[in-house]
Amino acid sequence: MNTHLAPPTNGKNGGVAVRLEAVDKVYRTEKIETVALSHVNLQIAAGEFLAVMGPSGSGKSTLLNVLGLLDAPSAGQVIFDDAAVSDASDRQLATLRNREIGFIFQSFHLIADLNALDNVQIPLLYRGLSHRERRARAERALERVGLKARMHHYPTQLSGGQQQRVAIARAIVGSPRLLLADEPTGNLDSKMGEDVMQILEEYNGESGVTVVMVTHDQRLADRTQRTVRLFDGRQVQ
């Protein structure tokens, strides 16, 4: 599979178009089998900002993991632009994840003994860039989320909202074409959640990145272009 997807246009990195075709995800443990996703068909346009909602256990994080190529579907296809990802080797998948996809999690997932600048540089470590170039890109990403002044702070020296902004800088530093956010405002009060949402909206508008955001907050979902609802692993809307 060609891991060099469509080139950037108009100076934007542009978004990836994603298609899920009849995707099932079944988790089997010794005693039980859980159908986390059942026959999900989903088309996401390049540059779309999509919200995913549904009760706890309905398969939202599973859907994001499948979209993010962290987890392979048990059946069905994941298609990026026009290429079926199931045809990719593990190495190609790792390259795609590193170059094309940015992740943001509810609990930030920053490394405690690295400062903001070093946390943000992590996705660039595998790209053969000079130390100088890595640092310059990380500074730009931190500036983008309004945190350049705190770049030498460690996670414990930052508020929850600031930590999430560092995590966003880390997710966008490599100019991904697909941004996946799993309840990015779930641990934040409404003011900090608003800041995070605004950054995601602005970045989506400026770069044309495709964004898929899981949220329990109807007001945030109302600001996206479309909401997909899951119930027991099935898409109900």
**Residues of the shown chain interacting with ligand ATP in the complex, contacts defined by CB under 6 A:** 27, 29, 34, 36, 54, 56-62
Residue 61 contacts Mg ion per CB under 5 A: yes
User: Among the candidate windows 60-68, 157-165, 172-180, 190-198, which touches Mg ion by CB under 5 A?
Assistant: 60-68
202 beta partners:
none
Residues 125-144 that bind Mg ion (CB under 5 A): none
**In whole angstroms, how close is the CB of 141 to ligand ATP at the nearest point?**
27
* Total binding residues toward Mg ion, as defined by CB under 5 A: 2
**Helices 160-172 and 131-144: angle between axes, nearest 10 degrees:** 130
User: Among the candidate windows 59-67, 133-141, 152-160, 203-211, which touches Mg ion by CB under 5 A?
Assistant: 59-67
Of 62 and 115, which CB lies nearer to ligand ATP in the complex structure?
62
| CA–centroid distance for 120 within its chain | 15
**In whole angstroms, how close is the CB of 134 to ligand ATP at the nearest point?**
33
| Amino acid in the structure at residue 215 | T
Residue 215 contacts Mg ion per CB under 5 A: no
Of 52 and 145, which CB lies nearer to Mg ion in the complex structure?
52
**In whole angstroms, how close is the CB of 186 to ligand ATP at the nearest point?**
9
DSSP H helices, 54-211, are 60-67, 90-100, 116-121, 131-144, 160-172, 190-207
Of 34 and 107, which CB lies nearer to ligand ATP in the complex structure?
34
Q: Which helix (H) or strand (E) holds 36?
A: strand 33-44
CB-nearest residue to Mg ion: 61
CA angle (84, 85, 86) in 5-degree steps: 90
**In whole angstroms, how close is the CB of 61 to Mg ion at the nearest point?**
3
Q: Report residue 81 as tokens.
A: 């632009």
Q: Which residues of 35-67 are buried (b: 16+ CB within 10 A; e: fewer)?
A: bbbbebebebebbbbbbbbbeeebbbbbbbbbb
What span, in angstroms and rounded, lies between the C-alpha atoms of 179 and 84? 19
**In whole angstroms, how close is the CB of 209 to ligand ATP at the nearest point?**
22
